[in-house]
Amino acid sequence: MPDLGDLRFAVIRFGVVVATAILGSLAVVVGLGSRRASVRVAHLWGRCCLRLAGVPVTVEGRERIAAGGRYVIMANHESGLDIPALLAALPPSIELRFLAKRSLFRVPFLGWSMRVMGFIPVDREDRSTAAETLAQTLAQVRQGGSPLVFPEETFTADGRLRPFSRGGFLVALKSGLPVLPVGLEGPRLVLPPDGRSLSPRPITVRIGEPIPTAGLGVSRRRALTAEVRSAIDLLRGPSGHVADPPGDGAAGERDPRAGVR
């Protein structure tokens, strides 16, 4: 007899695939006329995925986002539910521009819609493309976009924050946009990094105080990285926070690229 949990997980995954096909197609169509409209469809997709999974999301600190404000948004990365949770939590007035691994852009419907929305592909294997990625991200900023970066680059395996990459901080310092730190608490408990099981429970998204960068030079990158990392770590909350061992050095930086999913 099949395990009911596995069967339920399979049904949810099928529902997400169907929602992605339908809403991805819609995002492509409406995106031909309005990129902002296509990003609103992405927010709807995020809420649909969470509803299908039976996962409620609580948002704290949304009032810290100024009306019409633009940011370089940075969040911890621990699960495949991070993106749906962020889309559900952040207001559609922000023109999000996710930085995502290039392979996702080859996925039917999902990849097509990501291109229409102006999301930015990142090649994690070819580090020589870093300058191109930085230029593309700054171009999206000039067009009114707010980049969303996962500075850890990939999922944490044990709950501790991984070292942060430098690319997102270069974008913030070169553009002068404030960094908006966001902490996700709960996604890895719902959907572990291996994506093989689902345990529905609430997710909390905490939005911190924007950290200004205007007037700072790139020489302040390390100090900015440390400040943002500390903020995100606190925003993850008590069950999301896993302390670094003494002398671990996990706060170090990765290669000079923007973080990707």
Decide if pLDDT at 74 tops 50. Answer: yes
pLDDT tops 70 at residue 44: yes
How does strand 72-75 pair with strand 146-149?
parallel
Strand partners, 147: 97
The predicted pLDDT at position 257 comes to 40
Select, from the ranges 2-11, 28-37, 232-241, the one with the highest average predicted confidence (pLDDT): 28-37
Among 175, 164, 163, 104, residue whose Cα is nearest residue 136: 175
CA distances from residue 105 to 60, 97, 113, 117 in whole angstroms, order as listed: 31, 14, 9, 12
Q: Does domain 4-240 have CATH number 3.30.450?
A: no
Of the chain, the percentage scoring pLDDT greater than 90 comes to 54
What does the domain layout of the chain look like in residue ranges?
4-240
Which residues are 181's β-sheet partners?
74
More confident residue, 246 or 226: 226
Count of Cβ atoms closer than 10 Å to residue 70 Cβ? 17
Query: Cβ of 91: how many Cβ atoms within 10 Å?
Result: 12
pTM of the model: 0.87
pLDDT band at 20 (very low <50, low <70, confident <90, very high): very high
Mean pLDDT, residues 37-49? 93
Coil vs helix vs strand at 75: strand
